[in-house]
Amino acid sequence: MSRYQNTTWDLSSFNIKDATYSIALNPANIESFKGNLSAFRAHGGKALIYHGQQDSTVTSPNTARYYDHVSRTMDLDASSLDDFFRYFRIGGMSHCSGGPGARRIGQTALGALGGKGGATSNVLLALVEWVEKGVAPETVRGARASPPHVAIPPCADTSPQAPLEAADIIVERSISRLLAVQDAEDLRGKRRDRSSNELSKFEEPANGAN
């Protein structure tokens, strides 16, 4: 009986060959580490990605690694990637949200200014602005929970908004996008220390189609 597609297979026998096979099989198209975003770019797509640096579910350096993977696969430097693909590291954020840092960036609900800051404090609105008006985000503004005595920062926009209580805002902090060049060089240096045989199992060809 085949080792695979076998309901009686013993999980304790799992080894590197099984892992390699599962990568090649890509069940349900689960693979998310594709480096060739050429079709997305040609269509005018814009990608704004972020990762909390205290993420205990998916290690945050993996997103920096993916950024480098896209750079290498498409043969684009950080300046060229900026045209359609930007990555922000959010200090003190856990997995997608939560954590002790400035983790309110508009990713799940209101942004750093309780919805009043527009694209400067809400990543979704920043992405809309980038796609529809060509204004790319240079920073993301974040906020974190505070003691009750801290007031919501003033905002020129006085239109009706669903407000956050004062206790929800303590600090505004501009979170700069990744300065990718040094990070990429560091990652490449680490990769050079690994055997080419190991890398060949997982790398995409530079001109490969995804």
Rg (Cα) of the chain, in Å, rounded?
21
For 96, left (φ over 0), alpha (ψ -120 to 50), or beta?
A: left
pLDDT tens, residue by residue, 148-182: 434 334 434 333 333 333 333 334 455 555 544 44
Domain that holds residue 135: 33-154+162-200
pLDDT-derived band at 209, boundaries 50, 70, 90? very low
* Residues β-bridged to residue 105: none
**Residue 11 domain-assigned (yes or no):** no
pLDDT the model gives residue 31: 80
Looking at residue 175, its pLDDT comes to 59
Residue 95 in domain: yes
Q: pLDDT confidence of 187, banded at 50, 70, 90?
A: very low
Residue 206 inside a domain? The answer is no
Mean pLDDT calculated for residue range 187-196: 42
pTM for the structure as a whole: 0.63
pLDDT of amino acid 46: 96
Position 147 in a domain = yes
Q: Residues 11-54: pLDDT tens digits? A: 899 999 888 888 888 888 888 888 999 999 999 999 998 888 88
The answer to the question of residue 1 being in a domain is: no
Judged against a pLDDT cut of 90, whether residue 6 lies above it is answered with: no
Residue by residue, DSSP assigns the chain as --SSS-TT--GGG--HHHHHHHHHH-GGG--------HHHHHTT--EEEEEETT-SSS-THHHHHHHHHHHHHHT--HHHHTTTEEEEEETT--SSS-SSSS-BSSSSS--TTTT-SGGGS-HHHHHHHHHHH----SEEEEB----TTPPPPP-S--S---PPPGGG----EEEEBP-HHHHHHHHHHHHHTS-HHHHHTTPPPTT---
Answer for the pair 126, 119: CB distance below 8 angstroms, yes or no. Answer: yes
Would 194 be classed as within a structural domain? Answer: yes
pLDDT at position 35 is 92
Give the pLDDT confidence score for residue 132 in this predicted structure: 95
Give helix 180-192 / helix 61-74 axis angle, nearest 10°.
90
- pLDDT classification of 199: cutoffs 50, 70, 90: very low
Output the six-digit token pair for 153. 């920062």
pLDDT of residue 22: 83
Q: Which two tokens stand for residue 49?
A: 């990605």
Report how many domains make up the chain: 1
The pLDDT assigned to 151 comes to 39
The answer to whether residue 205 sits within a structural domain is no
Q: Which amino acid is at 61?
A: P
Model confidence over 64-103: pLDDT tens digits? 889 889 999 999 988 899 899 998 888 888 888 888 777 7
Asked whether residue 87 is assigned to any structural domain, the reply reads: yes
Biggest distance spanned by C-alpha atoms of the chain = 70
